[in-house]
């Protein structure tokens, strides 16, 4: 977590030296911790993160070899390779200070020190250390798969407008959010929108697919590790929580977290503390957690596959993302958006939908939701020889041509594929679907509108357009 004041560790065996340095550093706006020897210095670095360490080279009375300081320097570098270390040495032992710099010290100060030089050296090392940490963080960010940004977002249907209204109320808070929805509905897009509408928008948004992390490396991936923690740990590595510090962490497929790892995640959510694998130093993080799943977490809790207390931490707010079949008004808008995107990508200027394609898009149930719609249109743009995409070019599953799949009787699917004279026009397909919905709901406007993914006024407008009487 970022701090307003730089934090320094001072190690010296003389109390008056420690106190003089503490007072000087405090007056210069530094947060100073002091210890009296190598053992206490190492213990302090194991527990907390420091921006700079200022260490003496000799600790046992009457010794001048600097061996103790050099050993402490090596041990500090093992604990935190990015920690800048400045060594202090008495006049006449400069050669020892030079040796310390060969072993990784950033600079040295002679005793008695000059206050102006001391603060200049420490300021330079502070800036260098922070730059190195930023570089490490950026490198880790670039190596991660992060959520897609900048893509258009369409939400004209009533169900989506209600969801977005809830999102606008929740986003400015730091409340953890659980997004529920079928595969392909766009849960990752909603997570990104939450972040961009929050006060953390300028900080990092990190996306993690929990289904893609093996249990054996869960802790190392989520919390990081230090060099030597295990066979392949050749360098320190920042974990996903630490990388998202100050920002938002999106855990997709949250139901896939192994039961044995769930208490470790719960601890971070409860107190904001973690340790990298192989380290006993506790780090504090400030993360807004957004998670998503298509699973029944309440059912998983009942079966003992998911911790109830973890679910309570995750779902401070729940957002339910409707499937595409309940967003009828959005389908043509999404389809045109995808068509424009893929036409540009594959240099297919002028490509457009035929009426039969528009009718097929409206009639299909989209079991794969927005993702399936995107893939179908991309495939059609890529594979079609002509500029007009018809229903055949979409290559949709004929068995899924029924609006409101799962809500309608299997014996009476709503289809609008064709007539004896050939493919339907868009208006013909729409009229047929409206009539079928009214027939199957016994003329109940509310239920028919729900099956079609329309609002009641939108359904009334279509009934008026096609001359369908109420109760027909």
Q: What is the CATH number of the domain that holds 221?
A: 3.40.50.300
**Residue-level pLDDT at 4:** 65
> Using an 8 Å Cβ cutoff, are 52 and 109 in contact?
no
Name which of 399, 404, 401 is nearest 415 in CA terms.
401
Residue 52 has pLDDT above 90, yes or no: yes
Dist CA 241 CA 457 (whole Å): 47
pLDDT of 150 reads 38
Residue with tokens 């706006």: 29
| 358 and 382 both lie in a single domain | yes
Q: Which residues lie below 8 Å from residue 238, measured CB to CB, with a gap of 6+? A: 136, 137, 140, 224
Q: Where are the alpha helices (DSSP H) in 204-330?
A: 218-223, 240-243, 262-271, 297-303, 308-314
Residue 369 belongs to a domain with what CATH number? 1.10.8.60
Give the residue from 322, 351, 384 where a domain finishes: 322
Asked which of 297, 322, 347 is the last residue of a domain, the reply is 322
Using DSSP, state whether 141 is helix, strand or coil: helix
- Residue 165 inside a domain? The answer is yes
CA dist 292 and 188 (Å) reads 8
Predicted confidence (pLDDT) at residue 453 exceeds the cutoff of 60: yes
Tokens read off for 237: 């590595």
Mean pLDDT of 433-458: 77
Structural domain containing residue 313: 158-322
The H or E element that residue 446 is part of is: helix 445-452
Helix (H, G, I), strand (E, B) or coil at 113: coil
pLDDT over 50 at 75, yes or no: yes
Domain count, the chain: 3
- Give the pLDDT of residue 65: 79
- Among 73-77, 268-272, 325-329, 424-428, name the one with the lowest average pLDDT: 424-428
Residue 3's nearest CA partner among 176, 118, 126 is 126
User: At which residue do the structure tokens 């001048």 appear?
Assistant: 64
**203 and 302 part of one domain:** yes
Residues 269-306 have pLDDT tens digits of 998 999 888 888 888 999 999 999 999 999 999 999 99
Same domain, residue pair 284 and 314 = yes
- As separate numbers, helices (DSSP H) first and strands (DSSP E) second, the chain gives 19, 18
Reported confidence tier of residue 148, pLDDT bands at 50, 70, 90: very low
pTM of model > 0.85: no
The pair of structure tokens assigned to 141 is 């960010």
- Cα–Cα distance for residue pair 326/323, rounded to 1 Å: 6
19 within some domain: yes
Tell me which of 273, 298, 322 is where a domain ends: 322
- Does one domain contain both 281 and 420? no
392 and 249 within one domain = no
CATH number of the domain residue 114 falls in? 3.40.50.2300
Q: Are both 215 and 291 inside the same structural domain?
A: yes
- List the alpha helices (DSSP H) in 35-114: 38-47, 67-79, 94-102
In a shared domain, residues 192 and 311? yes
User: How much is the CA Rg of the chain, to the nearest whole Å?
Assistant: 31
CA distance 23 to 4: 18
Question: Is 251's pLDDT higher than 90?
Answer: yes
């Amino acid at each position: 977590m970022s701090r307003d004041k730089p934090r320094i560790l001072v190690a010296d065996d003389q109390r008056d030296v420690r106190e003089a340095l503490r007072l000087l550093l405090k007056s210069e706006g530094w947060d100073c911790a002091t210890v009296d020897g190598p053992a206490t210095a190492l213990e302090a670095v194991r527990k907390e993160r420091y921006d700079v360490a200022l260490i003496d080279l000799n600790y046992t009375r009457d010794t001048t070899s600097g061996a103790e300081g050099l050993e402490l320097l090596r041990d500090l570098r093992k604990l935190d390779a990015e920690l800048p270390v400045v060594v202090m040495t008495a006049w006449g032992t400069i050669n020892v200070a030079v040796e310390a710099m060969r072993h990784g010290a950033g600079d040295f100060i002679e005793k008695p020190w000059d206050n102006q030089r001391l603060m200049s050296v420490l300021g330079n090392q502070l800036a260098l250390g922070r730059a190195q940490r930023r570089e490490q963080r950026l490198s880790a960010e670039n190596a991660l798969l992060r959520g897609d940004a900048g893509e258009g977002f369409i939400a004209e249907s009533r169900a989506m407008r209600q969801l977005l209204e809830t999102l606008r109320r929740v986003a400015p808070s730091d409340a953890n959010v659980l997004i529920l929805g079928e595969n392909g509905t766009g849960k990752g897009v909603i997570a990104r929108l939450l972040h961009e509408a929050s006060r953390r928008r300028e900080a990092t948004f990190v996306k993690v697919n929990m289904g893609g992390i093996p249990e054996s490396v869960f802790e190392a991936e989520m919390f990081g590790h230090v060099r030597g923690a295990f066979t392949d740990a050749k360098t320190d590595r920042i974990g996903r929580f630490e990388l998202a510090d100050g920002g938002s962490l999106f855990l997709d497929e949250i139901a896939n977290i192994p039961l044995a790892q769930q208490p470790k995640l719960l601890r971070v959510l409860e107190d904001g503390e973690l340790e990298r694998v192989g380290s006993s130093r506790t780090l504090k993080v400030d993360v807004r957690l957004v998670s998503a799943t298509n699973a029944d977490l309440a059912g998983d809790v009942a079966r003992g596959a998911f911790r109830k207390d973890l679910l309570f931490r995750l779902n401070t707010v729940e957002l339910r993302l409707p499937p595409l079949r309940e967003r009828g008004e959005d389908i043509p808008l999404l389809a045109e958006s995808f068509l424009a995107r893929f036409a540009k990508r594959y240099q297919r200027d002028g490509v457009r939908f035929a009426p039969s394609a528009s009718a097929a898009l409206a009639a299909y149930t989209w079991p794969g939701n927005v993702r399936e719609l995107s893939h179908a249109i991309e495939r059609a743009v890529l594979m079609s020889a002509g500029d007009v995409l018809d229903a055949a070019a979409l290559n949709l599953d004929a068995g899924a041509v029924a609006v409101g799949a799962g809500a309608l009787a299997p014996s009476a699917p709503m289809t609008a594929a064709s007539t004896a004279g050939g493919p339907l026009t868009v208006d013909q397909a729409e009229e047929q679907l409206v009539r079928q919905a009214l027939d199957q709901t016994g003329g109940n406007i509310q239920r028919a509108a729900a099956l079609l993914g329309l609002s009641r006024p939108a359904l009334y407008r279509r009934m008026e357009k096609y001359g369908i009487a109420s109760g027909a």
